[in-house]
Amino acid sequence: MIICPNCGASNPSDAMTCSECMVLLNKEKLPKEKKDDFATKFGQTVSKMDLEKLSNRKIADIMFVFDCTGSMSGEIKAMQEAIIDFASSVTSEGLDIRVGLIEFRDRTIGEEHKLHKFSGEVFTKKIKEFQNSISSLRATGGGPAPESSPDAIMLALEQDFRDCPNKTIVLITDAPPHLPDKETQSYEQVVNKMKEKDTNQFYIVTMLQSPECHVHLKLLEGIQENGGDGLAFELSKKDVERKEHFKKVLQGLAKSISSKSVICS
């Protein structure tokens, strides 16, 4: 039996992901990449979690980088319905959050990414305001995979995060990345920018069952090597259950972000 380090749920010893929060448990169970197997090099970072609520102030800026291509309608609907619960979960743990949103598709075919603004600002504390932006998203375009996630992450890294140790990016996509993308040449370039910007938490929500998506795990390796933290979560392949599945992922994300965020000095 495997106990999930993120949510504490019990899972069978051969489980790849947690049945409750969908976090990656066993990298050895990942389908193998034939040519360049990033998954076998990936070691999930599991910090010791202090589950007691801290009286000291913790603040975090969370930028969601969201694939809005035609196959992502279930995740968009789930985000619309569950973002209030997500925010309630992290704030109940004493975390002062601001959230931001970038939607992306495929820049190589002219589909530009979009940085959402909230009363002229990149981040907002008003979760209803953020929910309204999520409600404006439409699952369209993209064409065949891959998609422009590297350029979207680089755009996220250029934004005005607060001067605090909890700068968090959440990438949500069911497709592998364009490498090179329209502007970004490699994931090493993204890792270097993360280090430059002192990004300390990175989460990837993707199709862990698909070997071509394992390249995203390189970013987790990079942030881990630079002293940061992060987790990988599984998206569901089954259209009929993707919305409810993603709601579980959001619960797992809230748990991890709350527990891994450190006190601001």
pLDDT of residue 264: 76
pLDDT of the residue at 254: 92
pLDDT at residue number 29 = 80
For 28, other C-beta atoms within 10 Å of its C-beta total 10
Q: Of the ranges 30-34, 94-98, 143-147, which one carries the lowest mean pLDDT score?
A: 30-34
Neighbours of 36 (CB within 10 A): 10
- The two tokens of residue 122 are 């990149």
Q: Are strands 114-115 and 167-172 parallel, antiparallel or unpaired?
A: unpaired
Tell me the pLDDT of the chain averaged across its residues: 87
For the chain, list the domains and their CATH numbers.
69-260 (3.40.50.410)
Burial label, 34 (beta-carbon count in 10 A; 0-12, 13-18, 19+): exposed
Locate 217 and state its tokens. Answer: 């795990």
- Extract the tokens encoding 87: 């925010």
The token pair at 166 is: 């909890």
Give the 3-state secondary structure of residue 252: helix
Quick count: other Cβ atoms within 10 Å of Cβ 51?
9
- Do residues 171 and 153 make contact, with C-beta atoms less than 8 angstroms apart? yes
- Which tokens sit at 60? 């975090």
pLDDT for residue 170 is more than 90: yes
Q: pLDDT for 75-120, tens place per residue?
A: 999 999 999 999 998 888 888 999 999 999 999 999 999 999 999 9
Dihedral (CA of 124, 129, 134, 136) sign: negative
Helix (H, G, I), strand (E, B) or coil at 93: coil
Task: Say whether pLDDT at 193 is over 60.
Answer: yes
pLDDT digit string, tens, across residues 34-53? 544 444 343 333 333 333 33
Burial class from Cβ neighbours inside 10 Å (0-12, 13-18, 19+) for residue 115 reads middle
Q: Tell me the C-alpha to C-alpha distance, in Å, between residue 148 and each of 38, 173, 262.
A: 19, 10, 31
For range 200-222, the mean pLDDT: 91
Token pair for 222 = 């990079």
Q: Are 148 and 106 in contact (CB under 8 A)?
A: yes
Q: Tell me the CB-side half-sphere exposure of residue 34, using CA atoms within 13 A.
A: 0
pTM, to two decimals: 0.88
pLDDT class for 56, splitting at 50, 70, 90? low
Answer yes or no: are the C-beta atoms of 51 and 88 closer than 8 Å: no
Kindly report the number of other CB atoms within 10 A of residue 19's CB atom: 14
d(CA 61, CA 85): 17
Q: How far apart are CA 3 and CA 67, in angstroms?
A: 30
pLDDT: which is higher, 87 or 54: 87
Report the C-alpha dihedral over residues 25, 167, 73, 212, rounded to 10 degrees.
Answer: -50
How confident is the model at residue 188, as a pLDDT?
Answer: 93
Contact 32, 211 (CB under 8 A): yes
Asked if 165 and 197 count as a contact pair (C-beta separation under 8 A), the reply is: no
